[in-house]
Amino acid sequence: MSSEGFPRDRMTIAFYGPFVVWGWLLYSFNPSVPLLADELGISAAQAGLHGTAMAVGAIVASFATPLLVRAQGRRGAIVVAGVAVLVGVVALVAAPSLPWSLAAMAVLSWGGNVSISSAQAGLALRHGSKASAALTEGNGVGSSVGLLGPLAVGACVAVGWGWRPAVAVTAVLALATAVVVSRIPVGGAMTPAHAVDTAPAPQRGAVRTGSRVPAWCFLVTLVAAISMEFATTYWATGLVIEQTGAGPGIAAATTAGLVAGMSAIRFVVGPLSLRVPSTMLLAVAFVVAIGGWAILWTATTPWVAMAGLVVAGFGYGATYPLSVALLLATAPGRADAMQARATLVGGLAIGVAPFALGALSDVVGTHQAFLVVPVVAVAGAVGAVLGGRTIRVQPVPAVELEPGVAADR
């Protein structure tokens, strides 16, 4: 199947699976953090340590993923990661204390980041110069499914079940994704075990930058994108409760507005990135994110807060996938190595942003702490503009599925 200039074959659809798993986890668990804090009787800063645990898992995954892909192949790496996600989710929803839930989150994050990293590099290899569209759509599919997460949390809380049943759905999705991926033949972008590199030779099409500036610029935009998203999804529920007086269930459900905006814009930006420079789209996305934050920050009713989250989602939704696509484009022939670097800095952002905003909230309140978000967005916009001034992208051919490769190789 093909539309908007890139094929959506079985391999592409399989690579979308980890995005679905991760999307559901993020958008069901993150809005549940304030509820978990109340349940365990811990402070906002302590609850923010779940972001730190998630960062630990991501950092370990950044080193493990290239090794695992080489040893087990891309298919094997994603399946192993899916099992780790399943185990981590079961441990998380059964957690009776903070140390238990932090350990579970670290395991869960390791599996999620290995699967996402493997899938993103696979999509970049599979679609070449059109990777921005495939990566953005993959993230859009994940956030679209994840859109149901906050609603599920709100519904479960409202009927007295708590947040755990909604988060437990992640385990089912992880198992289903592992089964689908295991049925894809090995070869091409589904890198075989012990393959050093399946990327096309640089001379046939690469990014010519003349310096390392663009890679660093897009690492900055990636950190900004992840920091904004995690800080907001972790603490928007608390902000809505503090500013509007809404109940926990309604406040958690408003986070669906952010995910809805993120999902919608990704299906627009993906095809648009094939016609408009991705760096320009990225800079505009950070500006839109600031506009949405302003609406959220000044809201005094849940509905206005949700509207602000939708607008913020229009900005947030484009920043992460475009940053990843641009970053991977700066390293032709080294997709997994550059993805590992992205996972590392992303893990650090996950570890710092939610914890820092939570600690700041304990001191000055959630409302004042949220002033950090537009500062981060400005830094991201600057990175996008600087990167756009120096990068010159030439087409990179996609890696086709090798014909005749045995499915059990």
> pLDDT digits over 353-380, tens only?
877 887 888 888 888 888 999 999 999 9
When comparing pLDDT for 100 and 133, which is higher? 100
What's residue 6's pLDDT?
Answer: 66
Mean of all residue pLDDT scores within the chain: 83
Report phi then psi at 207, rounded to 5: -95, 125
What's residue 87's pLDDT?
Answer: 95
* Residue 82 predicted with pLDDT over 80: yes
Enter the tokens of residue 227.
């920091």
When comparing pLDDT for 203 and 101, which is higher? 101
What's residue 403's pLDDT?
Answer: 35
Domains and CATH numbers, the chain: 2-393 (1.20.1250.20)
Q: Mind spelling out the 3-state secondary structure of the chain?
A: CEECCEECCHHHHHHHHHHHHHHHHHHHHHHHHHHHHHHHCCCHHHHCHHHHHHHHHHHHHHHHHHHHHHHHHHHHHHHHHHHHHHHHHHHHHCCCCHHHHHHHHHHHHHHHHHHHHHHHHHHHHHHHHHHHHHHHHHHHHHHHHHCHHHHHHHHHHHCCCCCHHHHHHHHHHHHHHHHHHHCCCCECCECCCCCCCCCCCHHHCCEECCCCHHHHHHHHHHHHHHHHHHHHHHHHHHHHHHHHCCCHHHHHHHHHHHHHHHHHHHHHHHHHCCCCCHHHHHHHHHHHHHHHHHHHHHCCCHHHHHHHHHHHHHHHHHHHHHHHHHHHHCCCCCHHHHHHHHHHHHHHHHHHHHHHHHHHHHHHCHHHHCCHHHHHHHHHHHHHHHHHHHCEECCCCCCCCCCCCCCCC
Lowest mean pLDDT among 67-76, 130-139, 157-166, 385-394: 385-394
Q: Angle 80-327-148 (CA atoms, 0-180°, nearest 5)?
A: 55
Nearest by Cα to 202 from 128, 136, 122, 135: 128
Give the separation between CA 302 and CA 292, rounded to whole angstroms: 14
Confidence of residue 238 (pLDDT cuts 50, 70, 90): confident
Q: Angle 70-77-25 (CA atoms, 0-180°, nearest 5)?
A: 145
Enter the tokens of residue 82.
């899916």
Give the Å distances, CA to CA, from 45 to 61, 112, 228, 324, 380.
Answer: 24, 24, 17, 29, 25
What's residue 205's pLDDT?
Answer: 31
Helix axes 10-29, 164-182, angle to 10 degrees: 170
* Residue 3 predicted with pLDDT over 50: no
pTM of the model: 0.75
Give the Å distances, CA to CA, from 125 to 35, 332, 406.
Answer: 40, 9, 20
Give the separation between CA 15 and CA 119, rounded to whole angstroms: 5
Report phi then psi at 126, rounded to 5: -70, -35
